Amino acid sequence: MATMPFWKRMLARNNTAALSFVLAALSIFIVIFLYYTQNSFLEAFEAKTYDLRFKNMRGPLPPSPDIAIIAIDEKSIAELGRFPWSRDRYALLLDRLSAAKAKAVMFDVFFPERENVANDRLFAAATKRAGNVVLAVAFDFDKDWRVTSITRSLPEIERGAMGIGHINQLPDDDGVIRRNPLLVEQGGKQIPSLGLVAAMVSLGIKEFTPGDFDIALGERSVPVDGDYRMWINYVGGPGVYPRYSFTDVMHGRVPAEALKGKILFVGATALGIYDMRVTPFHGNTPGVELHATVADNIISERYIRQGGMEALVDMAFIVLMGALAFFLTTHLRLYGAIPATAVLLTGYIWFTYYMFGTGHWINMIYPIMSAIAAVLVGGGFRYLVLERDAREMRSMFSSYLSPKLVARLEKDPDAARIGGDNKEVTVLFTDIKGFTTFSEAHPPQEVVSRLNEYLGAMVQVIEQHDGTIDKFIGDGIMAYWGAPLAQPDHARLAMECIKAINARMNELRAKWLAEGLEPFTIRGGLQSGEVVAGNVGLAGKKMEYTVIGDTVNQAARLEGTAKFYGVAYLVGEETYQRTREFCRYREVDKIRVVGKQLPVTIYEPLEGLSRLDAAAADRFEAALALYRTRDWAGAQAAFKAVLDVAPGDSPSRIYMERCAYFMQNPPVADWDGVFNRAEK
């Protein structure tokens, strides 16, 4: 048997499985640690998935109908001259917008220096007269994000304005603007962003209340991070909001109905003014559209949330994805686990996209990395060690085991216990009747060709019924069920197999007769019971998995005994007891084989495997009962009656001869009805 004891193999396997689990768990923990510390490298990748979800997965959304852009564009510069323009033109613009009854005018433009007294007063008066103007301010920060300076419009212009809003945009390290600081602290006051002020005007809200991770606007709550930055839910690329050329509005070429009741952002869209920003949708987006988008998000309550709840979901999925991926490695082979993990990751990506559509940014990179790490680290180690056992199983059993059973062994190599184990099995021996005579009467090439055709057909049938082919013994076959893998229904499988063998042999005989060839007829013996199963031979030279024990010997002797009784198959007591409910039998005899003291009862399976039909089998059973009571004359007459309906029934003929013998030579008084077989 194999050199390593089973308990050592099992201990090594359990240690390997435990270590692979520990490695997988450690890899998941490392990913959680990286998530908690917000690793900059991985965060950069996650930020790119934010962009991907906008541009390549979700696409544009319909913008708020309450917002439009007054564009300082190429057309306006061509008509009005080089930018910046004189303030009297802004005054005229405000008068046009007031006449059109615009709801608010949000300037993404500074007026920090004096132009001349007349134009400055004209614009200040127009601002005050409109009563709905919000002016821009901008802050400069030091490395600790403390305000160092502020840029704002002239005091007399600001005094006439409804309010101010900062226009600072803080791009991420890659230059993409993904968040907007809704509040900036300056001089003990919180200055709102231009987009936040626009939303408050649109909603009719005059005050805001900063919280820990939100800003309250009346009944509404705007989600922000600890620095009051809001993730921008971009609705599209450049031009998503209606644009009206500054010069067209100023000259009255835009219908008042298009401007009525709108929140109008005045800002540069011309490339030459260099107020372009990088967004997930486009690398050249006018900055004024970012402020409009922030206002749109708040008005429409279309937020992207990445707060405490999302963080808990992220960590839960880091653990879950890693655990599921590792689970796949424990239940599938490598080439199955990899595509299964890919399907798992695809499903998770779809989930993050779905959640993004509902306004929740669920992390994509860390859970995916957790799953991949669990497969590569934990699963990879497992495959390197445990797949070695599976490869051993494949090489050992693939030549004489059905592919279905080989696949089961690969999943659980220890199921075979190739070092030796007791197994409950059913063993089958078959043999060709008169094959020696056939071999002597035909050329060797024909003998081998016919034998290969026969054996090939038998191998297919046995494998289809999940049997294990142990060996070919000349023209004989030894097969068994219940090893190397346990099969609780091994006896039933064996009986179904011999029925299929009989059907296949009928097909072969018809074929051979049609070809003018001499057909084969086979016989067999089956016995169920306990055997010792394991590897035998010389390690590294010649090894084979087999079963040994008294059950094997009995099956072999039943095959030989079938020849004596002239039947196709004989079945032992154990097989009979396991299959009697779905297979009809007749009891043939009680025999005592050479070398054994205890008798065994042998049975012939009927239902297409015997010459007897059910009525003849009943007559045989009645005749056998008379024989057991020593009614020799009655038994002889009863067996003759069986032969009258089944002339070729060899057991009935044998019993008639015995009855005649016992009439002349009565058995001893304590005769037990057992026939002593003198041959193996």
pLDDT: which is higher, 198 or 412: 198
Taking residues 121-129, report their average pLDDT. Answer: 93
Taking residues 316-338, report their average pLDDT. Answer: 82
Percentage above 90 pLDDT, the chain: 53
Long-range CB contacts (< 8 A, 24+ apart) of 155-160? 156/120, 156/121, 156/124, 157/111, 157/120, 157/123, 157/124, 157/127, 159/124, 159/128, 160/124, 160/125, 160/127, 160/128, 160/129, 160/133
Taking residues 415-431, report their average pLDDT. Answer: 79
Exposure of 416 in the CB half-sphere (CA atoms within 13 A): 29
Cβ–Cβ < 8 Å for 547, 470: yes
Taking residues 500-504, report their average pLDDT. Answer: 94
Judge whether residue 432 has pLDDT over 50: yes
Cβ–Cβ < 8 Å for 451, 518: no
**In terms of C-beta density within 10 A (0-12 exposed, 13-18 middle, 19 or more buried), how is residue 232 classed?**
buried
Cβ–Cβ < 8 Å for 488, 523: no
pLDDT one-digit tens code per residue, 137-158: 999 988 877 888 899 999 999 9
pLDDT number for residue 541: 61
Cβ–Cβ < 8 Å for 366, 31: yes
Percentage above 70 pLDDT, the chain: 89
The answer to whether the Cα torsion of 410, 415, 419, 420 is positive or negative is negative
Judge whether residue 616 has pLDDT over 50: yes
- pLDDT class of 7 with cuts at 50, 70, 90: very low
Cβ–Cβ < 8 Å for 405, 466: yes
pLDDT number for residue 6: 39
Taking residues 169-177, report their average pLDDT. Answer: 88
Angle 283-288-291 from CA coordinates, rounded to 5°: 100
pLDDT number for residue 9: 45
Judge whether residue 16 has pLDDT over 80: no
pLDDT number for residue 585: 94
β partners of residue 286: 276
Beta strands 220-223; 214-217: pairing state: antiparallel
pLDDT number for residue 12: 44
β partners of residue 469: 479
Judge whether residue 430 has pLDDT over 90: yes
pLDDT number for residue 105: 96
pLDDT one-digit tens code per residue, 192-236: 999 999 999 999 999 999 988 899 998 899 999 888 999 999 998
Beta strands 243-245; 67-72: pairing state: parallel
pLDDT number for residue 395: 56
pLDDT number for residue 420: 67
pLDDT one-digit tens code per residue, 72-119: 999 999 999 988 899 999 999 999 999 999 999 999 998 999 989 899
Exposure of 15 in the CB half-sphere (CA atoms within 13 A): 6
Cβ–Cβ < 8 Å for 588, 567: yes
User: C-alpha distances in angstroms, 423 versus 68, 92, 557?
Assistant: 82, 100, 20
pLDDT number for residue 572: 94
What single-letter DSSP state applies at residue 400?
A: T
- pLDDT class of 5 with cuts at 50, 70, 90: very low
Mean pLDDT of the chain: 86
pLDDT one-digit tens code per residue, 270-290: 887 878 889 888 888 999 999
Judge whether residue 339 has pLDDT over 90: no
Judge whether residue 416 has pLDDT over 80: no
Q: What is the 3-state secondary structure (H, E, C) of 577-640?
A: HHHCCCCCEEEEEEEECCCCCCCEEEEEECCCCCCCCHHHHHHHHHHHHHHHCCCHHHHHHHHH
Taking residues 651-659, report their average pLDDT. Answer: 94
pLDDT one-digit tens code per residue, 318-328: 999 988 888 88
Tell whether pTM > 0.95.
no
pLDDT number for residue 386: 57
pLDDT number for residue 52: 85
